């Protein structure tokens, strides 16, 4: 089913011209993870071009659905580490990841589509029913709005006040870090997001186009 959907996406979007960097990334991912991984990255780039001039709602729904097709697994199983924030290329290359990887990939894609950084927050929450820590992406139409949440646990994009199963803890974007209040409302600012070592390391590896080998091959 997943392969069918991916092929459908490729046919629906058509072929767009790739930048030199994008072509290099596709080749690098193909060489590192395999040809199917390279096709996923190519589909991602085509998705971005296809959505370029669509409405924000259309963009968010498509991006949320696209990444939610990838397999969920733990960092320990796929990377051999207790906690690892994968870059979008690693996430697509591996064809699997955990909540941070879904959220980071969606955030990165919406930024490429022109969403302003101050309208997006990566929110660390407690998933109450599952009793686990979790991460979702929030979009704030205005600074005082109740945000819309993009999530891999719930495939429907809803406002934060409807997600009684999530308890917000802190949030961040490319520059800042905040404590959170109920319903996705921002609390006190707590400085730069560079204070988060996992985020800082992710940005460094993304700049360097670094890739990490997986332990399990989810394309087999």
CA dist 74 and 123 (Å) reads 19
User: What pLDDT score does 191 carry?
Assistant: 83
pLDDT of 183 over the 80 cut: no
pLDDT of 55 over the 50 cut: yes
User: What pLDDT score does 61 carry?
Assistant: 97
Residues 63-91 have a mean pLDDT of 97
**Six token digits for residue 84:** 């690892």
138-153 confidence digits (pLDDT tens): 999 998 889 999 999 9
Where does the pLDDT of residue 181 fall: very low under 50, low under 70, confident under 90, or very high at 90 and above? confident
Where does the pLDDT of residue 1 fall: very low under 50, low under 70, confident under 90, or very high at 90 and above? very low
7-47 confidence digits (pLDDT tens): 455 445 556 789 999 999 999 999 999 999 999 999 999 99
Mean pLDDT, the chain, whole residue set: 91
C-alpha neighbours within 13 Å on the C-beta side of residue 148: 17
Angle at 195 between CA 192 and CA 196, to 5 degrees: 115
pLDDT of 196 over the 50 cut: yes
pLDDT of 80 over the 50 cut: yes
Where does the pLDDT of residue 3 fall: very low under 50, low under 70, confident under 90, or very high at 90 and above? very low
List, in order of start, the domains of the chain with CATH numbers: 2-207 (3.10.620.30)
**Percent of the chain scoring above 70 in pLDDT:** 91
Q: Which stretch of 3-17, 36-50, 105-119, 150-164 has the lowest confidence by average pLDDT?
A: 3-17
Three-class HEC string of the chain: CHHHHHHHHHHHHCCCCCCHHHHHHHHHHHHHHCHHHHHHHHHHHHHHHHHCCCCHHHHHHHHHHHHHCCEECCHHHHHCCCCCCCCHHHHHHHCEECHHHHHHHHHHHHHHCCCCHHHEEEEEEEECCCCEEEEEEEECCCCCCCCEEECCCCCCCEEHHHCCCEEEEEEECCCEEEEECHHHCEEEEEEEHHHCHHHHHHHHHHHCCCCCCCCCCCCC
């Amino acid at each position: 089913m997943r392969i069918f959907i991916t092929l459908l996406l490729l046919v629906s979007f058509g072929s767009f011209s790739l930048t030199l960097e994008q072509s290099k990334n596709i080749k690098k991912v193909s060489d590192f993870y395999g040809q199917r991984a390279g096709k996923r990255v190519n589909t991602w780039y085509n998705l971005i071009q296809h959505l370029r001039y669509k409405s924000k709602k259309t963009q968010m729904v498509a991006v949320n659905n696209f990444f939610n097709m990838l397999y969920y697994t733990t960092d320990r199983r796929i990377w051999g580490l207790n906690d690892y924030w994968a870059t979008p290329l690693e996430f697509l290359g591996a064809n699997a990841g955990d909540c941070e990887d879904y959220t980071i990939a969606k955030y990165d894609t919406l930024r490429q589509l022109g969403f302003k950084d101050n309208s997006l927050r990566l929110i660390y929450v407690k998933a109450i029913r599952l009793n686990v820590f979790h991460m979702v992406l929030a979009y704030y139409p205005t600074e005082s709005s109740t945000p819309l949440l993009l999530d891999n646990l719930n495939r429907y994009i809803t406002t934060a006040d409807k997600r009684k199963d999530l308890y917000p803890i802190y949030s961040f974007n490319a520059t800042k870090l905040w404590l959170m209040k109920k319903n996705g409302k921002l609390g006190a600012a707590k400085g730069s997001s560079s204070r988060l070592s996992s985020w800082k390391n992710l940005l460094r590896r993304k700049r360097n186009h670094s890739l990490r080998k997986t332990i399990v091959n989810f394309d087999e």
